[in-house]
Each structure stands twice: as C-alpha cells, then as structure tokens.
Amino acid sequence: MADRSGPELQQIGRDRYSAGAVALHWITAAAFAFQIGLGWRMGAPRGPQTFAVFQLHKSVGITILLLTLMRVGWRLSHRPPPYPPTVRPIDAALARGVHAIFYLLLLGLPLSGWLMVSTSKVAVPTFLYGALPWPHVPGVATLDAAHKAMMNNAAERTHLLLVWTAIGAIALHVAGALKHQLLESGAYLRRMTLLPPRFLTAAGLLIVIALVGLFMLGRSIDLSPIALADPKRAPEPVRKAIRSSGSPAAAPSAPVPVAPPRPLEEVPVPTPEQVEPARWTVRKAESALRFHSAWSQGPIDGGFSSWRADIRFDPAALPRSTVRVTIDMASVTATDSDQQSALPENDWFAVGLHPTAIWTSTAIRHLGGDRYRADGTLTLRGVSRPLPLTFTLRIVRNVATMRGSASIDRTAFGVGQGEWSSTADLPALVSVTVDIKADRTASAPPKEKRS
C-alpha cells in the first residue's frame, strides 16, 4: 500500500484553520460544555455548594469571554481557509452566518452575566477560581437603585435568552458537522482539526462524547467551598464569602473555637460575696462587632466601627455581673459599597430616627468550662426584644478574651422594609459575632453590711 501521509498532510495544510485557531476553538468548546452543565444547577437551594457553583460559573464565564476576545483577534490577523469546491454556496453562506452567531453568543453570554452580577442588589465580589479578583462592570456602582434594577432585569432576561439560543445553535452545529462528516465529504470537520482525513470520523464521535462528558461533569462535580480556594492561601473576602454563603444560619467569618481547658493557674480566684464585679476596659483595636447574612447565593458581611461596652464582670459574682453595649448605627460598615450606603437608610437601620442600638444583659450564667450564656434585651429601631448571647471566656491575669455569637431575627425589629421584608431571598436570621479583648481596671469597694 502506498504511503499517503505526504499528500494528506499537504491537503490538511491547504484547507484547515491555523493551529492557534484550532486550539482556541476546542478549548472554548470544552469550557462552554462544562459551563452549560454548571448553569443547569443554578436553581439548587442556597448553601455552600450552590455558592461555590455560582463562583465557578462566573469564573468560567469570564474565561470564555477572554478566550473569545483572543479568537476574534486571531481571526482578524489570520485569514480562514477557503471552503472546499464540494461545498455549495448556500452551505458556505449558512456556515458564515452560524459563525457570526456563535461569536455574538460567546461575547453576549459572559457580558450579560457580568452585568447581572454587577447590578445585583447585593453585589457579591468575584474572585476568578477563588484567587484572582475581578471587578464589576465600570460605572455601574454610581447608578441609582432604580436604574440598577432595570439593568439587572434586562441583563437577566438577555442572559437566559442567549443561553437557550446557544443550546439550540450548538445542537444544530454538532448535527450539521456529523452529517457532513458521516454522510458527505467530511470537509467541515477537517477544517477544524489537525488530524489526517482517515481519522476524522472516529475523532468526531470522540469529540461529541467528550463534550457530553464535560456537560455531565459540570452538572455533578462536587464543589465544596474548599475546592475553590485553599483556606490558608485564599484572599480573606473569598474565605468570608464561602463560610457565610447561602444559609440563614451560616457560619460566621470567624468561627468561635472552643478553647482548651484553662491551666489551673488561669482559673480566676473567687471573690468574696460582698465584693462587686470588676470593671473591664475594652481594647478597641483588638475587638470587633460583626454581622453576616446572605442574599441570592451571595454573602452580606458587615460590622460597626463605633460602639462601647460597659462591662462589670467576675466569674465568681455572676448574679451581679452586667454588660451594656451601645452601638453607633451610623458607623455600620460592609464589604460592598452598595450595601454600606443602603444600610443606614430608613428601609434598614433608619439611623436618622434611631441613631443607637443597645443590648443590656439581664442574667449571666456559667455553662461549664469556658462557656457562658448571657440573657439580655436588644433595642433596635425603637423595638426591644430578648436576645441571648453565648460566648467563651478566658481570663489570664488581668486580660479577658471573649468570643460570642447570636442569631437575630431582623424582621422582629423591622430591619428590611418594603420589598426587603420578604424572607424568600433575604433570610430572616442574621448571624452576629462579638470579639472582645479587655483589661481589668478596678473593682468596686465592698458593700457595707447594715445591722
């Protein structure tokens, strides 16, 4: 049998795309198949798994956008091969139209998705593959809420329309390629591969199987938050977003560890019954008051930069120990600028009418080891409700380290008015964490006994 490798390779060189175009085509196709599988899971219930899917979906979408821009640049600098003489003019015209549609889809899908993320009511930061920060669409942050909502709605509708258009176009494109390869000359598939013609039929079937496999992988891949970011190396916003994603009872950004049992010398010396609890001065630079929630698979993380605590506490005098925390509501902070500007408004904290929130303890009891529970009352937006706080406490000499957490039903205090009163997208429960380091300053003098 004569060696046909020489003529075959010469033919391949005349009628195929360049190696760069071939590589970009199949890499983009693989990413798109995987992306459709991820998109199929977007309606799952909120939770860490769903949040991880959203983050990876955004990352793959931006990757497809960048690949498409590279393909456009490559196409402009490298002339595509001519169609073989066996291809009818009508088929060539249809192929050019399909190519144009695909370029529009590959640009329109990630751009509309990017705009959706950027105009969301709660703008969740994007970190490509859990590491590289990606900005929102420039200029969107300065828009008012009404225009943002209008753009978000238009972007969402456009994105959904393009998704179904792309699925239909891909199905027709694959069917057409297989038809030409199996029933006709095989000219189309040969143009976009580096293989000799005798291998094209088998390669075409393998390509279809591979793309279906990538789609199924996207639908079923296990995406625990840790798979997106190494917790020891990922940026802190990523770790916070992963930890507090999706669930009303999501874990706080700084989980409260259970401290090991105190050495004997760290156990506070009991004070006589007649001695009042000591006063404690909070170290502001080493203390924090934070809150965590989520909206539409994204985290809401914030805190307060100005607050004061009047603490009178002694483990041996719990019945007379008291804590009163006063919070300057105008000092609210958030990781997202839109959230920070909205929270002081009347729909949320109504800072103009209620500038402070106050939590006052009513009873403190020891739960064993380093664990305590403080029952108390929170007054927020002019509404007072019971709010217990569980915490761990370690006292070494005259320095106390306290870490506590509580869950607040925002609806009980009227936080979130109008459309925000619904708990369908924004949970009722908000996780609050308190970290305090304080110094013992003085003890009140013993009470005089009256005869």
The structural domains of the chain, ordered by start, are 5-227 (no CATH), 244-443 (2.40.128.110)
Looking at residue 133, its pLDDT comes to: 82
- Taking the C-alpha atoms of residue 220 and residue 161, their distance in angstroms, rounded to an integer, is 24
> Running DSSP on this structure, what letter comes out for residue 419?
G
Q: 3-class SS at 121?
A: coil
Global pTM value: 0.49
Show Cβ contacts of residue 99 under 8 Å, excluding neighbours closer than 6 positions.
none
Q: What is the DSSP string of 265-290?
A: GGSPPPPPTTSPPEEEEE-GGG-EEE
**Residue with token string 């793309």:** 211
Show Cβ contacts of residue 303 under 8 Å, excluding neighbours closer than 6 positions.
288, 289, 290, 291, 332, 333
pLDDT for 135-146, tens place per residue? 888 887 777 778
Read off the tokens for 287: 């203390």
Confidence check: pLDDT of 208 > 60: yes
pLDDT for 19-61, tens place per residue? 788 888 888 888 888 888 888 777 655 555 667 778 888 888 8
Residue 338: name the closest of 176, 147, 121, 189 by CA.
121
Residue 225: name the closest of 110, 120, 129 by CA.
129
Q: What are the E-state strand segments in 15-159?
A: 126-128, 132-134
**Residue with token string 């005098």:** 317
421 burial (CB, 10 Å; 0-12 / 13-18 / 19+) is middle
- Taking the C-alpha atoms of residue 234 and residue 253, their distance in angstroms, rounded to an integer, is 14
pLDDT for 353-393, tens place per residue? 999 999 999 999 999 889 999 999 999 999 999 999 999 99
The enclosing H or E element of 367 equals: strand 356-368
Show Cβ contacts of residue 122 under 8 Å, excluding neighbours closer than 6 positions.
295, 296, 298, 300, 336, 338, 339
